[in-house]
Amino acid sequence: MNFLSGFTAILGPPNVGKSTLLNRILGAKIAIVTPKPQTTRNRILGIYHGDGFQIVFIDTPGIHRSKTALHRSMVDSALASIQEVDLVLLMVEAGRYDAHEVLDIITKLQEINKSCILAINKIDILSRKKLLPAIDHLRHLYPFEAVIPISALTGDGVDSLLCELKSRLKPGPRFYPEEMKSDQTESFVVSEIVREKIYLYTRQEIPYSSAVTVNRIEERPEKNLIYITAIIHTETESQKKVVIGKAGHMIKAIGKSARENLERIFGMRVYLDLFVRVEKNWSHDAKALRRLGY
Whether the CB-CB separation of 18 and 67 falls below 8 Å is answered with no
Whether the CB-CB separation of 91 and 105 falls below 8 Å is answered with no
DSSP state of 261: H
Query: Which of the given ranges, 12-16, 77-81, 248-252, has the highest pLDDT on average?
Result: 248-252
What pLDDT sits at residue 33?
78
Binning pLDDT at 50, 70 and 90, where does residue 65 land?
A: low
Tell which wins on pLDDT, 282 or 38.
282
217 within a domain of the structure (yes/no): yes
The SS3 assignment for 92 reads strand
Instruction: Looking at the structure, tell me whether residues 145 and 98 fall in a common domain.
Output: yes
Instruction: Looking at the structure, tell me whether residues 122 and 231 fall in a common domain.
Output: no
What is the DSSP secondary-structure string of 11-70?
E-STTSSHHHHHHHHHTS--S---SSSS---S-EEEEEEETTEEEEEEE-PPP----SHH
Binning pLDDT at 50, 70 and 90, where does residue 75 land?
A: low
In terms of Cβ atoms closer than 10 Å to its own Cβ (0-12, 13-18, 19+), residue 236 is middle
178 within a domain of the structure (yes/no): no
Q: Last residue of some domain: 120, 147, 171?
A: 171
Tell which wins on pLDDT, 218 or 75.
218
Whether the CB-CB separation of 74 and 211 falls below 8 Å is answered with no
Instruction: Looking at the structure, tell me whether residues 109 and 193 fall in a common domain.
Output: no
Whether the CB-CB separation of 89 and 11 falls below 8 Å is answered with yes
Q: Last residue of some domain: 116, 146, 171?
A: 171
Q: Which of 31-45, 62-76, 119-133 has the lowest mean pLDDT?
A: 62-76
Instruction: Looking at the structure, tell me whether residues 87 and 31 fall in a common domain.
Output: yes
Domain count, the chain: 2
**H-helix or E-strand containing 196?**
helix 186-201
CA diameter of the chain = 62
181 within a domain of the structure (yes/no): no
pLDDT tens per residue across span 234-277: 999 999 999 999 999 999 999 999 999 999 988 999 999 999 99
Q: Last residue of some domain: 171, 204, 226?
A: 171
Angstrom distance (rounded) from CA 182 to CA 288: 26
The domain in which residue 122 lies consists of 4-171
Instruction: Looking at the structure, tell me whether residues 62 and 152 fall in a common domain.
Output: yes
Q: Return the amino acid letter for 287.
A: K
What pLDDT sits at residue 13?
87
CATH number for position 56: 3.40.50.300
Whether the CB-CB separation of 251 and 244 falls below 8 Å is answered with yes
Angstrom distance (rounded) from CA 71 to CA 69: 6
What pLDDT sits at residue 100?
84
pLDDT at 126 over 90: no
Read off the pLDDT of each residue in 48-56 and give the average, rounded to a whole number: 96
The mean pLDDT value of the chain amounts to: 89
51 within a domain of the structure (yes/no): yes
pLDDT tens per residue across span 276-291: 999 998 988 888 888 8
pLDDT tens per residue across span 84-121: 889 999 999 988 888 888 888 888 888 888 889 999 99
